[in-house]
Structure 1
Amino acid sequence: MLPLDLLESTWLQVATDWWLNDMYLEVPLALPINSNPGLAARPKNFSNQRDAASFLARFLMELLNYQEILDSKTLEVEHVKSRDGQSMQPLCMAQHYQIFRIHRKPGDNKDEHIILNRTNSGDHIIIAHHNQFYSIPVRAADRGKITEVDMIEQLLKIMEAPPNPHTPPVGILTSASRPTWFQARQELLKNECNRHNLELLERCLCIVCIDDDILPVTFNESCKKENEWLNNRDYANVLHHSLHGGGSRYFGANRWFDKTVNIILGKDGMWGLTYEHSAGEAPAIFSIFENLTDKVDAITSSENNQIPSHLPMPEKLEWKLSEQSLNDIREATTAFDGLVEDLDLCILWFDEYSKEFIKTCNISPDAYIQLALQLTYFRIHGHLVATYESASIRRFALGRVDVIRSASPESLDWVKAMCQGDPEMLNDVQEEGTKRQQRIRELFDLAVKRQTKEISDNINGHGIDNHLMGLKYVAKMTGENVPELFNDESFTILQHFALSTSQVTTKNDAIVGYGPVVPDGYGCAYNLRKNGFIFSISAFHSDGRTSAKKFAQVLETSLRDMAKMLKNIQKQ
C-alpha cells in the first residue's frame, strides 16, 4: 500500500499526463501557428552589429544566472489572493522549473516529453543564423561559466558569417505535422553526424534565432495605420515574424519549433520569441523573458566588451542528408508555406478607454472583454459558439489550465438585446428607449455575474473540462466503455472551439498571439494595458466565412457600444 502523500503525488502526475496527452501530445498538427504562440516585444535600437551582439550576450548571461537559481531550487514562489480575497495563496512553480529542461520529441502516434537531466544538458546554447545552427558552450567543468566578453565575440563570429545558399533548411522539418516530422527524424538518425546534431539541438538550454532581414509589408494588417512598429512594419507584421518567421522564404527554417524557447532578434531590432506550448503557459514564459529583458535594459554599457576573445569559432552543425531527407524537407516546406499563407492576422490596439474605466463600473475587466467578444461574434455570424478561455489552475500542484466557457444563456440574452432590442419593451413607444436601456443593462449584469462565477469556479478547480477529460481516461484505463456522453453530437459541438481566447497580460506593451484551433475559428489573445487593450485576432483565409480584420473592426464597435451603454445608465 502506497503512503497517502505518495499516492496523491502519483495521481497528480497521472492527471497531468492525461491533460498533456489530450491537449498537446496526441494532437498531430504542426506546431507553428496551430500550437506555438508568439510574442513581439518593444523593438531594440542598435547603432551597429556589436551593439546587437552585446545586448544579446547580456540577455543570455542573465538567462544563465536565472538557470542557476532554478538549479539551486531557490526561485521565489509567486502568490495570488485566495478566494476569500484576504489571504495570499502560493502558486505551483513547476512550469518555471521545467521550461529550460524539457524537449518535445515527435512521435508516430503521440509525442513525448523528454525531461533533461541538468547534470548533462543545458550547458550550451544553439544559435540559428541563415538557417544554420551553431553550438556555443556556456559552462564547462574546467573553466566555469562563459564570460560576457567571450559570449559577445562568439555571437559576432556567427553574425558575421556570410549566408550559404546551399545550407539545407533542416529546421523546416520541425514545422511539419508531428507524424511526418517523426518519420523524417527517423531518417536523419540513420547518420551519426545527424544524431550528434539532434542531440545538441534537443539538449540545449534554448534556441536563439538571429534573423538577418525583415518581413515585407505584405504581412501587415493592423486596424490603425498609426499603430506602426518601425520600418513600415506594423504590429501584425512583427507577430507574423514571431509566430512563423514568414515561412521558408524568410526565417521559417531559422527555428527549431520543438524547443520550448526560441528567442528571436531581428536585423531591425525586432525582439521576441516563439515557444513550444506543451512545456508551459504564457504567464510563466513571458514573465521570464520580460524580467530578463528589463534587467538587460537597465545595464549601463561597459567598455570591456572590446577585449578580444581567443575562443575558436562555435561548432557549426553540418548535416548529412539522404535523398529521402531532402525530399522530406521539400514536402515540409510546401506544407509550412501553405499554412503561413493561410494565416489571417489583425491587431487592434484599442485606446479609447482602459481597464480602469471598467473597474470604476465594478466589473471584472476579463469578464467584460469576454462579453465583448461574444457580442462581436454574434454581430458577425448571428449565433454564439463554444468559446475557450484559458483559466490558470496553478493554485493546485502541477496545475496548468481549465476552460472558462464564455458562451452562456445569459450572454446570449444580452447580445440579442444589444443587437435586436428586447421585444417585450417595444409595446410602449414613449418609454421604449429608457426601458430598453434598462433591460439591456439588467441582462448585461446577469451576463457579467455568470461570467465572473465561471472565472472564479475554474481558477478554483470547479471547471468541467478537466473533470470530463479525467472520466474519459479513467474509463480507458480501467477497460470500461467510454461513456456515451463522449460520443454524443452535442459533446462534439461543445468541444469545437470556434472562438479560442486568452488573456495574456504582460508587463510591457507586447504583441502576443496564436492561430485558431479549428479551421473555421478565430484565435484572440488580449493584453489589458493601463493605456488600453491590445487584441491579436487570427483566422484562416481558406475558411471564407471568417476574417480577422472584420472581427477586429466589429470588436472596436462593440467596445464603444458597451461603454456607451454603461455611461447612459449612469446618467439616468
Structure 2
Amino acid sequence: MIQGMVIAVGYEFYRHKRWRGVLTWQTLQSLTDVVTRRDTPDIGSPSVYDSAEKVEGPRTEIAKESSGDSRDIDDITNGVTSTLTGLFSGLPALAGPQRLASSLRQKFSNNSEAWRDSVLGAPRRLLTSIGSFSRDSSPCSAPRDEPLPSLPVPDLETTMQKYLAQIEAISPSHLEKSKQLVRSFLQGPGPKLQQFLVERRHNTANWATEWWLEDMYLTVPLGLPINSNPGLASRPKNFSTQRDAAIYLARFLMELFDYQETLDRNDLDVDVVKCREGRGTQKLCMAQHHQILKIYRRPGEIRDEQIILDRTTSGDHIIIAHHNQFYSIPVRASDRGRITESELIQQIQKIMETPADPRTPPVGILTSAKRPVWARSRSELMKNEQNRHNIELLERCLCVVCIDEDILPVTFNEPYNKNDRWLNDRDYANVLHHCLHGGGSRHLGANRWYDKTVHVIIGKDGFWGMTYEHSAGEAPAIFNAFEMLTEKVDSMPLTVENLVPSHLPSPEKLDWYINETSRCNIREAMTTFDALVEDLDLCILWFKDYSKEFVKACKISPDAYVQLALQLTYFRLHGRLVATYESASIRRFSKGRVDVIRAASPESLAWVKAMCQDDPELQNYTPDDGIKRVQFTIYSEQKIMELFDLAVKRQTKEIADNIYGSGIDNHLMGLRFAAMEICDNLPELFTDESFGIVHHFALSTSQVTTRNDTIVGYGPVVPDGYGCAYNLRKDSIIFSCSAFHSDGRTSARKYAQALELSLREMAAMLKTKNK
C-alpha cells in the first residue's frame, strides 16, 4: 500500500521533464524507506521576514519562483488523484484522494526551491494527511500538540560552495588549495559522511543539537563570565529604602515562581511565526523555555556536563548571594505550600541586614575560572561533607539572586558621549560591566555562582539586571521572560500592608570548609579573573539618527542592513573582512538552537571596497600579504548602490537559508563529528589552515531586540576580535561593542566611532538613491 502511494506520487512528478533531475528512481526508492518512518515531518517554507527573533521588516519572497507553468501542477495532481482513487477503491474509510490532490497543489504550486527542500518529507506528509483530511486547517497551522519538523540536512555540494565563498571573501590566498580539498572531499569521504547525517536525522529528534552543544559550549575550556555568559542591564529602579528593594525583589520572585509553575503545567503559550507563504502560522520549539530554570552546568576537566534537574525533587529553594556569602531560602514545602510574599520579603530583609564578614571566603570566584581549573577546585571542595551539601543546594536551586551592596566606580565608565548616563554617575558601559563580571574580586565578581543559568542582580543604588549561563538557552527565551516579569512588577506600587510576622526559620547560611589547597585555588582564581576584567574593553553606541523604521521604509531587512554596516566598519578599521558570527534561531525545528548567519561574502567585500574608495590604501589592501596596490577603481554612486543591492540580496538569502535549516556551520560541524566517528583520520578539509580561518570569528554579533530600553552585551570570542550585540528599537539602535585591551589592534571605542560613520554614510547613500 505504502509503496503504491509513493510510486503514484513519484510517477506523476517524473512524467514532467522539469522534475526528473530531482526525483530520480533512486530518490523514489529512498522515499519508500523514508515514508515508513515516524520522524520525517513537514519542513515547510516560512519567510525570512517573519522570524520573530531575528528579522523585522516587510515580508518578501526570497526563493526563486518556479520556472514551470502551473498547468504542470494541475496535471500532476490530477494524475495522482486518478491513481490513488484506484488504490483507495477498496478502502472506504480513508478520506478522498481529491483532498489529497488539493493539498499537493497547495504545497507545490508556488515554489520549486521549497519543493526541492521538502520533497523527502512529502510522502510522509501525504500519508499523515490522509487520516486528517476532515480538518479544515492551513497546511502550516501549528496546534500545540503537533510535532515540529526535524532539522534538515543541507545539500552537501551547496554547503561546499558556500564554504568556498567564505574563503574567497576573507582569505583569498587559500582559495585554490581549498577548491582542491573540497573536490577531494566530495569525491572521497563526503558522500558517506553526508549519508551518516541523513541516517542520524532519522534516528534523533535533532541531528545537530547534541554535537553543537559539545562544540559550542561544553568542550570550551574558557571561563564563563565575559567569554560566554551575556548580561542585560534593565532600566534602574527608584528605591527609597532597603525595604523598597526587598519588596520589589520579593514580588519579582513571586512572579518567577508563577512562571515556573506555568512551565511545570505545560501551560506556557507556544511562540509562533507566520509561514513563509503567509498562510497560517508555524510554532517554534519551546524546549529552551522549559529548561532554563532546571538546568545546571557542572564543570569538567575534559568537558562540562549539563545537569537536568528533576522538578519533583529540586527547584524548591532559591539561593541569595550577599557580601560573597550564599543563603538558601525554601520557597515551597509539601506540608505548607508556597512561601507568601510577606514571608519572602522578611527573609530577604534578614539577608540584607546581615553585615559583611571579612572572614567569608569568596568561594563564588572559583566559578569564574577556566573550566578544567574550576573542575579541579570543585573536586577539592567536595572532599568535605558540608561543602558537598552547599554545592548540591547551589546546583539544585531555582535561580541565584545577587544582592549587590557595592557600586562599580566611575573607573568602569567609558562614555561614548559625555552626557551618557544610565544610573547616577554610571554610564552605559559601567552597568554592562556590572552585569558581565561585577567588577571582579575587588567589587562584586565573587557575589555570583556563574554555573547557574539565571542570575537576577539587584543593587542598592537601584541597579536591576541579570546574567545567564549560555549553554542552557538563547537570549530570547531568557531575556524575554525577565523583561515580562519585570514589567509586571513595575506596574505594582511599592507598598505593602503591615507584614504579618513570619515564623519561618532564618535563611540557611552556606558555611564552607576551606583548606589550604582551596585557599590557594581562590587566590589564583581572583588574580586570573581580575586580569580578565581589566582586559575587557566596552563601549556603548546609542545611535539615535534613525532606527529600524527608516531601514524598513527602504524595503531592506534591518538585520541585513546592520550586518553590512558591521562589515563596512571592520573593513574601514582593518582593511579586510573576517569570519563573522551572527546567531540564527532555528527554533522552527524540534530541539533547534542556532546556526550561523555569515555576513562576510564576495558581495559584501565588493561593496565595502567601493564605499572606501576615497581611501586608496584601504580600497586596494590585500588581506593575506598586507601589500597595498597602486591602482584603484573609481565607483559612481549608481555603481555603489548596485553593489549594495547585491550585498543586501545575498545577506537576506543568507538569513533565510539559516533560519530554515540550510546554514553551513551546523552542517560542517556535523560532517566533522561524523568523520570522528566513522573515519580513521579526519579529512584534510577539516585540518587545513583555511578551515580554522573560516571559524575564527573575529566579529561575533547578535541581534538582541528587547521589549524595553536595555543594555545587552558580551565579550569577544577570540583574543583579537570584537563582540557586537545590537538592539533594534523603534526610535534608535543600541550597539554594545567589546574588545580586549591586550590585543593592541582592536578598540571598542574606535569600532563604535567607525560604526556611527558607517551608519550615517549608508543612510546618505539610500537618501541619494530615493531622490
Q: SS of the residue aligned with 2:681?
A: coil
Partner Cα distance (2:653, 2:576) in 1: 23
1:458 to 645, 649, 658: 658
User: What is the rounded CA distance, in whole Å, between the counterparts of 1:132 and 1:73 in structure 2?
Assistant: 35
Structure 1-normalised TM-score? Answer: 0.96
Q: What is the alpha-carbon distance in structure 2 between the residues aligned to residue 442 and residue 86 of structure 1?
A: 33
Match of residue 490 from structure 2: 297
What is the match of residue 222 of structure 1?
415
Work out whether 1:35 is the aligned partner of 2:228: yes
Amino acid at match of 2:638: Q
**Which residue number in structure 2 is paired with residue 507 of structure 1?**
707
| Residues in 2 aligned to 1:9 and 1:114: alpha-carbon distance in whole angstroms | 26
Equivalent in the alignment of 1:540: 740
Number of the residue aligned with 1:118: 311
The residue correspondences of 1:280-429 to structure 2 (distance < 5 A) are 280-304=473-497, 306-420=499-613
Looking at structure 1, the residues matched to 230 and 365 of structure 2 have their Cα atoms a distance apart, in angstroms, of 17
| Aligned counterpart in structure 2 of residue 475 of structure 1, from 675, 681, 703 | 675
Deviates more, 1:230-239 or 1:10-19: 10-19
Shift of 1:306: 2.8
Letter in 1 for 2:462: G
Alignment correspondent of 1:496: 696
Deviates more, 1:213-222 or 1:133-142: 213-222
Compared CA separation, residues 302 and 422, structure 1 to 2 (3 A): closer
State the secondary structure of the residue aligned to 1:230.
coil
Aligned residue identity for 1:102:
I
| SS of the residue 2:300 aligns to | coil
Greater strand percent: which structure?
1
Contact conserved, 2:206 with 2:592, CA < 8 A, in 1?
no
**TM norm structure 2:** 0.71
2:368 aligned residue = 175
1:520 aligns with 2:720: yes
User: Which residue of 366, 378, 401 maps to 1:208?
Assistant: 401
Q: 1:244 aligns with which of 437, 440, 448?
A: 437
CA distance in 1 between partners of 2:38 and 2:675 (Å): 24
Deviation at 1:14, TM superposition (A): 5.5
Distance in 2 of aligned mates of 1:9 and 1:210: 48
| Aligned residue in 1 for 2:763 | 563
Rate the CA distance shift 1:358–1:184 in 2: closer, same or farther, 3 A. Answer: same
Q: Aligned partners of 2:442, 2:495: CA distance in 1, in Å?
A: 38
Partner of 1:48: 241
- Say whether the 8 Å CA contact 1:389–1:404 is kept in structure 2: yes
> Aligned with 1:208: secondary structure?
strand
For 1:195 and 1:28, the matched residues in 2 are separated by 23
Larger Rg, first or second structure (1 or 2): 2
The whole-number CA distance in structure 1 between the counterparts of 2:463 and 2:277 is: 43
The DSSP-based 3-state class of the residue aligned with 2:770 is: helix
State the distance in 1 between where 2:37 and 2:316 align. 38
Per-residue CA shift, 1:362-419, capped at 9, x if unaligned? 0000000000000000000011111011000000011000000100111111110010
Partner SS, residue 646 of structure 2: helix
Q: Aligned partner of 2:214: which letter?
A: N
AA in 2 matched with 1:186: S
Deviation at 1:301, TM superposition (A): 4.2
Q: Tell me if the contact between 1:349 and 1:533 (Cα under 8 Å) persists in the aligned partners.
A: yes
Comparing 13-22 with 370-379, which one deviates more in the overlay? 13-22
SS class of match (1:397) = coil
8 A contact 2:415–2:428 mirrored in 1: yes
Report which stretch shifted further, 295-304 or 151-160. Answer: 295-304
CA contact (8 A) 1:355 1:530 kept: yes
Structure 1 counterpart of 2:529, one-letter code: F
Q: 1:14 to 1:411 in 2, by over 3 A?
A: closer
The amino acid across from 1:440 in the alignment is I
For residues 80-137 of structure 1, what are the alpha-carbon distances to aligned partners after superposition, in whole Å with 9 as ceiling and x for unaligned? 1222244311000000000011000000100000000001100000000000000000
Are the counterparts in 2 of residues 402 and 466 from structure 1 also a CA contact under 8 Å?
yes
Q: Which moved more, 1:73-82 or 1:58-67?
A: 73-82
Instruction: Give unmatched runs, 5+ long, in structure 2.
Output: 1-32, 40-199, 617-632
Q: What's 1:154 paired with? A: 347
Q: Partners in 2 of 1:59 and 1:419 — Cα distance? A: 50
Contact 1:154 1:314 in 2 (8 A): yes
C-alpha separation between the residues in 1 aligned to 2:498 and 2:308? 35
- SS state at 1:229 partner: coil
Amino acid paired to 1:72: R
Count of residue correspondences: 562
Q: Is the 1:422–1:436 Cα contact (8 Å) retained in structure 2?
A: no
Does the residue aligned with 2:293 lie in a helix, a strand or coil?
Answer: helix
Taking the TM superposition and a 5 Å limit, the aligned residue runs for 1:94-133 are 94-133=287-326
Q: Give the Cα–Cα distance (whole angstroms) in 2 for the partners of residues 422 and 521 of structure 1.
A: 23
Q: Does 1:83 align with 2:283?
A: no
Change (3 A) 1:101 1:5: farther
Q: Look up the SS of the partner of 1:135 in the other structure.
A: strand
Matched residue type, 1:515: G
Q: Summarize the Cα distance change of 1:14–1:101 in structure 2 as closer, same or farther, 3 Å threshold.
A: farther
Tell me if structure 1 keeps the 8 A contact 2:231–2:713: yes
Tell me which residue corresponds to 1:426: none
Deviations 1:142-169 (A, max 9, x none): 1000000000000000000000011000
Q: Which moved more, 1:452-461 or 1:85-94?
A: 85-94
Q: Is the 8 A contact 2:567 2:604 kept in 1?
A: yes
State the distance in 1 between where 2:278 and 2:311 align: 39
- The reply on whether 1:262 has 2:455 as its aligned counterpart is yes
In the alignment, does 2:258 pair up with 1:65? yes
Gaps of 5+ in 1: 424-431
Deviations 1:174-194 (A, max 9, x none): 000000000000000000000
Q: In the TM superposition, what is the alpha-carbon distance from 1:261 to its structure 2 partner?
A: 0.5
The separation in 2 between residues aligned to 1:303 and 1:329, in whole angstroms, is 42
Structure 1: distance between partners of 2:429 and 2:276: 37
Where 1:560 maps in the other structure, the secondary structure is: helix
Residue aligned with 2:610, SS: helix
Shift of 1:531: 1.4
Task: Give the match's secondary structure for 2:446.
Answer: coil
Measure, in 2, the Cα distance between the counterparts of 1:4 and 1:149: 55
How big is the shift at 1:300?
3.4
User: 1: CA distance between counterparts of 2:678 and 2:310?
Assistant: 33
Please give the secondary structure, in 2, of the residue aligned with 1:263: strand
Letter of the 1:476 counterpart: M
Please give the alpha-carbon distance, in whole angstroms, between the structure 2 residues aligned to 1:322 and 1:408: 55
- Please state whether the residue corresponding to 1:406 is helix, strand or coil: coil
1:225: how far off? 2.2
Contact 2:248 2:494 in 1 (8 A): no
Deviation at 1:10, TM superposition (A): 4.8
1:365 alignment partner AA: P
Q: Does structure 1 retain, via aligned residues, the 8 Å contact 2:206–2:590?
A: no
SS at match of 2:712: strand
